[in-house]
Amino acid sequence: MNTQLHRVQVARYRVVHETNYSYQSMVTLSQQYLHLSPRSFDYQEVLSDDIRIDPPPSERSLSLDYFGNSVQSISIAEPHRTLMVHAEFTVSLKARYTQSDIVNSLPWEILRERRRAFDPVSTDESQLFMYDSPHVSCSNDLSQYASISYTPGRPHLEAALNLTQRIFDEFEFDDTATEISTPLETVLAGRRGVCQDFAQLMIGCLRSLGLPARYVSGYILTHPPEGEERMIGADASHAWVSVFCPDYGWVDFDPTNRCLVQQEHITLGWGRDFSDVTPLRGVVLGGDKHQLQVNVTVTPIP
């Protein structure tokens, strides 16, 4: 689509994400899989990227996962009672589509019919994000909830923005209401959750209508109260939704913040749902109980 938005202002950020584990007893072996490096794409350029680990890994490998995200696999054979993973990077973000840019997208029914007509062995990447995944199951309830926004003949991206706004207006942010494994049916019924839940709920709504949507993991710039300084370590990981539309490509929406994603969202990676882009997961031998502390700081670079 012809637009000048790719040639306007650029925003730059430095992100520090530190994860600390304290174990009750000695860990003799730790194997971890890290999604902590940002990816470059049309709207984001990675300027620097560094991950430091203590104790130092005895084995460490870098690769791309199935979705093209940068990942690291590490193994720590040195006995330890604490584990620290310090990820630090800088990125440059370009402007994205605004609300006025998306009003002329094709009606959503046309896109759904095109999806249905696709060859099942098509190499179209968006096909990967149309079906059930570990944390997102399609259902009639999700389809009915989405249909309030997806009325007949409505442009796809305009309807997606309306769905984004409705989830914000009708659901309450509550970090005690859900867990990673909480089903979408429970989130829909309880109308409470966190950014991960709201992103996966919106993805489930779109897939239930036969439209592709993917889960995006990253960070968002938060703003301190007026007159107060930014607090180091007070930010957090974030999640939102990417919606595919011909002529536009992937367009990102944030139902937790009721907005089209612009230049305050920093992308780590994307997948079908949270399980594909968990920042840090793995197994340990020993350790017994543990305490986890995560500190995130997002700082604009002048």
- Closest CA relative to residue 214, chosen from 156, 175, 271, 158: 271
CA dihedral (146, 151, 153, 154) positive or negative? negative
DSSP 192-206: EE-HHHHHHHHHHHH
Looking at residue 125, what is its pLDDT? Answer: 87
Which stretches of the chain drop beneath a pLDDT of 70?
1-8, 117-123, 230-234
Say which CATH class 99-276 falls into: alpha beta
Looking at residue 3, what is its pLDDT? Answer: 41
Distances (CA, A) of 233 to 17, 19, 48, 89, 230: 8, 11, 20, 15, 9
Query: What's the number of CA atoms in the CB half-sphere (13 Å) around residue 57?
Result: 17
Q: What six digits make up the tokens of 271?
A: 């997948």
The CA distance from 55 to 78, in Å, is: 7
Looking at residue 2, what is its pLDDT? Answer: 39
For 9-94+278-301, the fitting CATH number among 2.60.40.420, 2.60.40.2250, 3.40.50.10490, 3.30.460.80 is 2.60.40.2250
Looking at residue 152, what is its pLDDT? Answer: 97
**Cis upstream peptide for 55 (omega within 30°):** yes
CB atoms within 10 A of CB 121: 6
> Which residues, including other chains, have CB under 8 Å from residue 15's CB and lie 6 or more apart?
38, 87, 88, 89, 90, 91, 219, 266, 296, 297, 298, 299
Domain residue limits, the chain? 9-94+278-301, 99-276
The CA distance from 298 to 95, in Å, is: 18
Burial of 162 (0-12, 13-18, 19+ CB in 10 A): middle
pTM recorded for the entire structure: 0.93
Residue 181 per-residue DSSP state: T
Distances (CA, A) of 89 to 14, 176, 223: 6, 30, 20
Please, are residues 11 and 300 in contact by the beta-carbon 8 Å criterion? yes
Please, are residues 187 and 141 in contact by the beta-carbon 8 Å criterion? no
Helix 156-170 × helix 108-117 angle, to 10°: 110
- Run of H or E including 162: helix 156-170
